[in-house]
Amino acid sequence: MDSGQWSQGRRQGLDKPMPLSRSQVKLRRVSDEIESRFKRQTRIIQADFSEGASIYPAIAEQLKGLEIGILVNNVGMNYAGMLVNFLDVPDPEKKITEVVNCNILSVTQMSRLILPQMVERGKGLIINISSEASSQPQPMLTLYSATKICVTYFSRSLNAEYQGRGVTVQCVTPFMVSTNMTHNIKVNTLVKSAASFARDALNTVGYSSFTSGCISHALQHNAMAIFFPAWLRLSPFCVRRIERFSKEVRQLIEERMAQCQKKQE
Ligand SMILES: NC(=O)c1ccc[n+]([C@@H]2O[C@H](COP(=O)([O-])OP(=O)(O)OC[C@H]3O[C@@H](n4cnc5c(N)ncnc54)[C@H](OP(=O)(O)O)[C@@H]3O)[C@@H](O)[C@H]2O)c1
């Protein structure tokens, strides 16, 4: 899960993976790696999805004339990088707009841009990365989980609308994957590495349009539904416990976030 949005274009017989993200340096690095390891031409598009509606005309312009076979809406951001109450972030007004733009507007607008040509050709694949956090309401991940249920419903309904016209819209709802978002948490039987998750999830394409992406995450999803149902997680007792837990681990998470930030720089 190393880059924001992806699309794959095909023109004049060339496969062109197109990473789309906000950091030119990172895009260049990913692009160079694809070109040298997989001998594929790439094209990169730089955009900051937290900026909202203004970025899409420029993206549309750069996609003009390209045949896009696969769109992966992977971009996403969480609200605070840790469990917090809704009001407990610096500048909530700005943060709310950024998260909604990044998690919801990106998926819907990118689908609007690419879907028409897929429908015209009668084939195409859109993969939208939602989250297990969308499976139930999540106090202290309130906005993030709310944006992800939007992605889930959007994807599933869109798939129902367009699968008869040859376009598959797959919705993936991962549990924990070790990435910057999760402060590169240690990989174990519950937490997948990004590479391993991506491999497993891609193997579900064509078999399932709504998936946890891998067996471990599917089992965790079922266990959570049984042992941690919505009525329990929304109860005042549970919310107090989550708040207490969040305070206990806050310092540790802040240290991890600082480390990740340094690594990225
Ligand atoms: N990791 C998990 O445990 C987990 C679990 C469930 C769902 N997910 C979902 O999986 C997807 C990928 O997450 P991840 O874990 O790989 O997170 P990540 O490590 O933070 O990566 C997010 C990707 O999105 C890009 N991005 C973030 N904000 C952006 C912006 N404003 N404009 C353009 N690109 C932006 C980042 O690229 P740049 O930094 O280069 O811009 C990065 O490549 C997200 O939708 C997330 O919600 C993750």
Kindly tell me if the per-residue pLDDT of 249 is higher than 50.
Answer: yes
Place 2 in a pLDDT band, splitting at 50, 70 and 90: very low
User: What integer pLDDT is reported at residue 1 of this predicted model?
Assistant: 46
Q: Which structural domain range is residue 231 located in?
A: 5-264
- Structurally, how many domains does the chain consist of? 1
Question: Residues 130-156: what's their mean pLDDT?
Answer: 97
Lowest mean per-residue pLDDT among 138-152, 173-187, 189-203, 244-258 = 244-258
**Which has the higher per-residue pLDDT, 6 or 17?**
17
C-alpha dist (Å) from residue 258 to 140, 181, 191, 262: 21, 12, 21, 6
Tens digits of residue pLDDT in 44-89: 999 999 999 999 999 999 999 999 999 999 999 999 999 999 999 9
pTM of the model: 0.93
Question: Residues 157-179: what's their mean pLDDT?
Answer: 98
Contacts of 95 (CB under 8 A, 6+ apart): 79, 80, 89
- Residue 106 Cβ < 6 Å to ligand 1: no
Looking up residue 147, the CATH number of its domain turns out to be 3.40.50.720
- Cα angle, residue 100 at apex, residues 104 and 42 outer, rounded to 5°: 55
Which atom of ligand 1 is nearest to 1's Cα?
A: 16
SS3 percent helix, strand, coil of the chain, rounded to 5, is 55, 15, 30
- Residue 46 Cβ < 6 Å to ligand 1: no
Question: Residues 201-224: what's their mean pLDDT?
Answer: 97
> How many angstroms separate the alpha carbon of residue 79 from the centre of ligand 1?
12
Contacts of 180 (CB under 8 A, 6+ apart): 260, 264
Kindly tell me if the per-residue pLDDT of 20 is higher than 80.
Answer: no
In 3D space, the residue among 85, 73, 175 whose CA is nearest the CA of residue 133 turns out to be 175
Question: Residues 197-226: what's their mean pLDDT?
Answer: 97
